[in-house]
Structure 1
Amino acid sequence: MSAPRHTALVTGASGFIGSHLCEVLRERGHDVRAMVRRSSRLDKLELGAGGAPFELAYASLDDVDSMAQAVANVDLVYHLAGATAAFDRVGFDRANVEGVGNLFAAIAQARAHGQGPRRVVHVSSLMAAGPSHPSSPRREHHRHERDVTDYGDSKLAGEQLAVASARRGDVELVIVRPPLVYGPRDEDVLHMIKSAAMRVVAQPGLRPTWMSAIHGRDLATGIALVGERGTPIPREGTAGHVHAGGGGDPEVLGDTHDPRGAGLYYLTDGQRSSVAEFGQIAAAALGRRAVTIPLPGFAVRSVGLLNQGLGRLRGQVPALTRDKARASLSSGWWCDDARARADLDWSPEFGLEAGLEDTVRWLRDNQLL
């Protein structure tokens, strides 16, 4: 059954996931407004537009007034804009926390004039919850683990600010926490695929750990469904809810619809893999065989620290920082999407093999490999 047509604003629309989401929302019959900065490259968004340009709203996360204009007269906001790479927590917080506060201030400003959205879908990260237990995937009601990565802590702080702001402003809020995302138009995971193309797969740590992944197109479809059908965060704090300081033991899988995780959704391809398996499947998609090289923790941390120092000198955040090194050496980033499948009638199109074949095909077609 199709959802009622709505007008949606997508922040971070010029990015990898944002461009896919704009495309999916249009295909589902919705009117799309793409929020971009004046300095944004629009090539990904243009690919998603397929020759029929989206309405653009020029605004930035540090400018409340420009965002108030962007959110005026829309029904839903899909908030994807944020920082996935920074040198330190301050750099992450500027976009992932302060930016969230500014967005909700803009929404309050628009709603004061009867023009603001009724619902916000906040796209966060699995890392906001913290690592998974080695023997059990994370579910939405599992309690948070802090102080593992700066990125994850900033995303969790952004979620908490969004929850408080939405309740004050009487706005429905739903949170999506993706795992590793890859696919056409992506640049971050491209480094892993290029390494596989060189027949080398680096495994952080001496033992593999579980991880979840999802193709960008599938994630965009899931996010759209969350906007249409997802259950929002409770307006009043549910006893023991993860955003009230509660939650269950991550070692115990627990019930799919445990109310302590209400309003949160994980989206995955339904598989579990490891960094080594991801690299080996990427190599197979390239028609090659690769060697997996386990790297001791001290080596991963040392490279991350060295890269970070060199990156500061160059003024560019490298692919592997000290924070990403810490993340790669954790107990794993594995989650379960049973709640999303039950609530949203959602299932992914791409498994990992098909997804990486699709990605490699796109990279070759665009002469990036």
Structure 2
Amino acid sequence: MKALVTGASGYLGGRLCHGLLKQGHSVRALVRRTSDISELPPPSTGGAFELAYGDITDCHSLLDAFSGCQVIFHAAAIVETWLPDPSKFFSVNVEGLNNVLQAAKETETIEKIIYTSSFFALGSTDGYAADENQVHCEKRFCTEYERSKMIADKIASQAAAEGVPIVMLYPGVIYGPGKLTSGNIVAQLLIERFAGRLPGYIGYGNDKFSFVHVDDVVDGHIAAMDKGRQGERYLLTGENASFKLVFDMAAIISETKKPRFSIPLWIIESYGWLMVLVSRLTGNLPPISPPTVHVLRHQWAYSCEKAKTELGYNPRSLEEGLKEVLLWLKSLGVIKY
């Protein structure tokens, strides 16, 4: 199969390109002229891996990139909790999906579209673990990213109802080796924790997220290409836990001390407002913002039993994944223990 990967220069997209190549597929990576492609394989003379320059906000560039491909992996998205211009979430995450769907309709060779959504598109799960049947209540949104992914999810579902060969995937909180982007939030927080810039727990451990290793998400995407049923949703999630447990587990693995106190969320939110002010003055995105805290006030726990049954999805434990991440961060020299 020849696969086109959007968002190939991103955290998940880059790992997906490598995973597809290992499985023997030909890969065309959609990147912008300004993209950092240092984590991507070098283009090969035999055509197993090639770059296509374009942008999901430009439908014409997609038509050229999609030509001759059988499968589209649409992994491109803006993954941030806050942007000074929130309209960018919608131009990329919503209109970008519309463009991908339109270009795919006009490309005769396309057999399947694997769309990377997000657990945020399904909404919070305060007090329970949700499955693929959950639909966002649309009564509240912690972030504009969440709102954009919910709208995009409705577009994808409508396309499926109209017969478009699309499979929708919903990863949890992705962590693991790879690019140290804002999408790799677990690695970023561990760096802050070991550097002493995050001296305590974030809140009191009432949060809950579904943590999943990036390579397990990649395997889930490739399995969805082979086994995913048209129009179906699959949660590619993992172990449901709080960030407090993540910090405790990291301390045990690294044989370092656990945090001795908790930082109330109102303090973190106040700091977030300060960071937003600094961001508006400097133009650099803040490491934390008030919407981040809004997310932490809720639970986002999910079940991946459907993906296990239908796709053969088999996510590793959080402990196993964290051991790998800590060794990787240590090898980079960004943490010490």
The answer, yes or no, to whether TM exceeds 0.5 is yes
Q: Does 1:107 align with 2:104?
A: yes
Q: Match for 1:224 among 219, 222, 240?
A: 222
| Structure 1 residue 133, shift from structure 2 partner | 2.5
- 8 Å contact kept, 1:9–1:71: yes
Corresponding residue of 1:340? 307
* Matched-pair identity in %: 27
User: TM-score, length-normalised on structure 2?
Assistant: 0.89
Q: Match for 2:243 among 248, 271, 275?
A: 275
Corresponding residue of 1:356? 322
State the alpha-carbon separation in 2 of the partners of residues 18 and 102 from structure 1. 18
- 8 Å contact kept, 1:125–1:155: yes
Q: Match for 2:233 among 236, 258, 264?
A: 264
State the alpha-carbon separation in 1 of the partners of residues 240 and 88 from structure 2. 31
SS at match of 1:41: coil
- 8 Å contact kept, 1:101–1:165: no
CA deviations on 1:178-203 (whole Å, 9 max, x unpaired) are 11111101423222111331465644
Corresponding residue of 2:266? 298
Corresponding residue of 2:154? 160
State the alpha-carbon separation in 2 of the partners of residues 43 and 351 from structure 1. 29
Corresponding residue of 2:145? 151
SS at match of 2:262: strand
Q: Does 1:179 align with 2:172?
A: yes
| Structure 1 residue 142, shift from structure 2 partner | 1.7
- 8 Å contact kept, 1:123–1:177: yes
- 8 Å contact kept, 1:192–1:279: no
State the alpha-carbon separation in 1 of the partners of residues 249 and 42 from structure 2. 26
State the alpha-carbon separation in 2 of the partners of residues 47 and 182 from structure 1. 24
SS at match of 1:45: coil
State the alpha-carbon separation in 1 of the partners of residues 43 and 120 from structure 2. 27
State the alpha-carbon separation in 2 of the partners of residues 56 and 24 from structure 1. 16
- 8 Å contact kept, 2:205–2:244: no
Q: CA 1:299 to 1:102, structure 2 compared with 1: closer, same or farther past 3 Å?
A: same
Q: Match for 2:18 among 23, 28, 33?
A: 23
Corresponding residue of 1:9? 4
Q: Which runs of 5+ in 1 are unaligned?
A: 1-5, 234-262
Q: CA 1:227 to 1:288, structure 2 compared with 1: closer, same or farther past 3 Å?
A: same
Q: Which runs of 5+ in 2 are unaligned?
A: none
State the alpha-carbon separation in 2 of the partners of residues 79 and 181 from structure 1. 16
Q: CA 1:294 to 1:164, structure 2 compared with 1: closer, same or farther past 3 Å?
A: same
State the alpha-carbon separation in 1 of the partners of residues 177 and 18 from structure 2. 13
Q: CA 1:22 to 1:142, structure 2 compared with 1: closer, same or farther past 3 Å?
A: same
Corresponding residue of 1:214? 212
State the alpha-carbon separation in 2 of the partners of residues 340 and 17 from structure 1. 18
CA deviations on 1:65-88 (whole Å, 9 max, x unpaired) are 111111111111111111012415
Give 1:344's aligned amino acid: L
RMSD: 2.2
Q: Does 1:307 align with 2:275?
A: yes
| Structure 1 residue 161, shift from structure 2 partner | 1.9
Q: Does 1:197 align with 2:197?
A: no
